Amino acid sequence: MDSNKSGAPAHDIHSLRAVKVLGKGATGTVFLVHDNSGDSPFALKVVEKSSADRRARHEISLLRRLSPHPFLPHLICSSEDDQFIWWGIPFCPGGDLNALRHRQNDHVFSPAAIRFYLAEILLALHHLHHQGIAYRDLKPENILIQLSGHVTLTDFDLSRDLPPRSTCHMKPKSARVSPADERSNSFVGTEEYVAPEVIRGDGHDFSVDWWAMGVLAYEMMYGTTPFKGRNRRETFRKILISRPERVGVGKADALTDLIGKLLEKDPARRLGYWRGAAEIMEHRFFRGLRWELLTEVVRPPFLPSEEVVGEGEIDITEHFRRVKVPPSPLRSSSDDDVSITDF
């Protein structure tokens, strides 16, 4: 059954040759697959229908209508049968930004590398916001490295449509947020990246992505997130009332100044709130950057190997049967879903 009405072809899951498990996310398992045409391998996300039908279809729908962008994926195929929903996106052999950071000296990036990756992420978010989409799940695990060394964002099941300069309202502490909660006022995310207004239940807009970019920049610079606590409650408390260490102390360089302005707890005072990405692009940390030529003249800090290593042929149906996927969305250590009522 072809669930794609936008021109992307359908692929029978049984005609695809899966050679590697790339990862498990909040809503499914991602396989590296080949089709019978012998084309380049691609990433296939597979979700059992009993676990996250609505989130899967939401992500497919969003990918279908995304206009082309160098730092966002495109939909290769999508289809379903009685048991699974699946869709394909380009394979990124460089892995994710979290794994790449851990391969650096002291597990941190240089300021030049941070500038490169933040610039591309900023342009990707700008493109999403221009199309009325709040990403809402920015974190290193969702930033993949293409063969070219440039980034691409992935996992859009938490993204939501927002009209310009409006907020997605939430009743304070009213609705338990869980991976299966599809109400318009729900929010599921990684707790260390959640913006203060989401925890408070004030409603949120596109600026939640700028907050998350501030957390990301801090982690890339210092090797840890700025508000990490011993547990979820302490993390939320720090997000609400604490200032990040090392930021706002003494004379700030360009990067720490940018981080401080992105980690403004009042969204109306946060950099990017009023004029979106344009405000951030004008910050002195990006001074001299030729935005329109970013993919052409700037050499990426890291170029992945073209070699694709598989694990042999994997039967996708047997894989799900063997791991005994429960009737709830898959979780991994990097997917700490937030329940606002826990705070």
Angstrom CA distances, 228 to 225, 243, 255, stand at 6, 12, 20
Sign, Cα dihedral of 296, 44, 55, 323: negative
CA distance 263 to 247: 10
Find out whether 311 and 20 touch, Cβ atoms under 8 Å: yes
Helix axes 207-222, 111-130, angle to 10 degrees: 170
The active-site residue out of 35, 96, 137, 209 is 137
Check whether 20 is labelled as a binding-site residue.
no
CA distance 75 to 66: 9
Tokens of 227: 């508000």
Collect all residues with Cβ–Cβ distance below 8 Å to 227 and sequence separation of at least 6: 192, 215, 235, 238, 239, 242, 244
77 DSSP β-pair partners: 88
Find out whether 137 and 198 touch, Cβ atoms under 8 Å: no
For the chain, give the number of residues. Answer: 343
* Catalytic residue list contains 137: yes
Longest Cα–Cα distance of the chain, Å, equals 61
CA distance 84 to 47: 6
Burial of 277 (0-12, 13-18, 19+ CB in 10 A): buried
Find out whether 135 and 216 touch, Cβ atoms under 8 Å: no
In the chain, the N- to C-terminal Cα span, in Å, equals 43
Q: Among all residues, which ones are annotated catalytic? A: 137
What residues form the annotated binding site for ATP? 45
